[in-house]
């Protein structure tokens, strides 16, 4: 019975998201992702202020208020393909070092559209609020690809389901 309820929920949630306005965008030439309507590419100036590290994601989308972001980063970090559990361990260890007080919601390997990903979901402290992070990471052609959907905890009720649905639309198109 639980399996039927879970399957019904997944089918309904996928169907309901398909009816919402989204735009399928190919990012970094290797992954497509359905971006929610109303998101646009973040300006370089805002990206430098919001994400001051030099290795920030090259593809950053934000909502019109600038308080919900989707980042896609095809890094130069080399990791052999099909090592998602090692990648998951490395990323989670890194996040634990950077944010020792983070509240963890998920830390596992998942399969989405036939491709395995490290899936991390956690809430981390920021200067004036907490940030809910939904992250996927995988390897493509020996390099790490990270997709992250971030929102303030005040916006979780409105955006968390959309974040989870958005990351489930990831499709590797070049490997």
In a domain, 75, yes or no: yes
- How confident is the model over 151-155, as a mean pLDDT? 95
Q: Is residue 33 situated within a structural domain?
A: yes
5 lies in some domain = no
Asked, for residue 71, whether it belongs to a domain, the answer is yes
Beta-bridge mates of residue 68: 151
Q: What pLDDT, on the 0 to 100 scale, is given for residue 20?
A: 59
User: Is the per-residue pLDDT at 44 higher than 80?
Assistant: yes
pLDDT on residue 66: 86
Task: Supply the pLDDT for residue 108.
Answer: 97
Domain membership flag for residue 84: yes
116 is a domain residue:
yes
Q: How confident is the model at residue 21 (pLDDT cuts 50, 70, 90)?
A: low
CATH of the domain at 61: 3.40.1000.10
Task: Identify the band that residue 53 occupies on the pLDDT scale cut at 50, 70 and 90.
Answer: confident
In a domain, 1, yes or no: no
Q: Provide the β-strand partners of residue 120.
A: 107, 135
pLDDT at 7: 32
Q: What is the mean pLDDT of residues 13-34?
A: 66
Structure tokens, 46 = 């805002």
Q: Are 73 and 145 in contact (CB under 8 A)?
A: yes
How many folded domains does the chain comprise? 1
Q: What range defines the domain where residue 76 resides?
A: 23-172
Is 90 exceeded by the pLDDT of residue 47? no
Whether residue 8 lies inside any domain: the answer is no
Predicted confidence at residue 160, as pLDDT, reads: 96
- Report the share of the chain in percent with pLDDT over 70: 86
**What percentage of the chain has pLDDT greater than the value 90?**
59
How many Å apart are CA 50 and CA 33, to the nearest integer? 22
Chain segment 81-112, per-residue pLDDT in tens: 889 999 999 999 999 999 999 999 999 999 99
Residue with tokens 């491709």: 115
Question: Mapping DSSP to helix (H, G, I), strand (E, B) and coil, where does residue 109 land?
Answer: strand
pLDDT tens digits along 113-124: 999 999 999 999
């Amino acid at each position: 019975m639980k399996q039927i309820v879970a399957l019904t929920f997944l089918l309904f949630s996928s169907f309901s998201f398909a009816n919402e306005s989204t735009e399928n965008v190919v990012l970094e030439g290797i992954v497509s992702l359905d971006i929610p309507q109303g998101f646009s590419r973040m300006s370089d100036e805002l990206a430098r202020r919001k994400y001051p590290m030099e290795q920030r994601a090259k593809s950053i989308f934000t909502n019109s208020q600038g308080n919900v972001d989707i980042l896609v980063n095809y890094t130069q970090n080399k990791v052999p393909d099909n090592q998602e559990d090692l990648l998951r361990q490395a990323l989670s260890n890194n996040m634990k070092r950077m944010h020792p007080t983070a509240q963890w919601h998920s830390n596992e390997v998942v399969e989405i559209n036939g491709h395995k990903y490290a899936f991390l979901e956690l809430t981390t402290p920021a200067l004036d609020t907490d940030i809910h992070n939904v992250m996927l990471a995988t390897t493509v052609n020996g390099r790490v690809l990270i997709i992250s959907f971030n929102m303030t905890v005040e916006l979780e009720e409105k955006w968390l389901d959309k974040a989870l649905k958005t990351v489930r639309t990831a499709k590797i198109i070049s490997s």
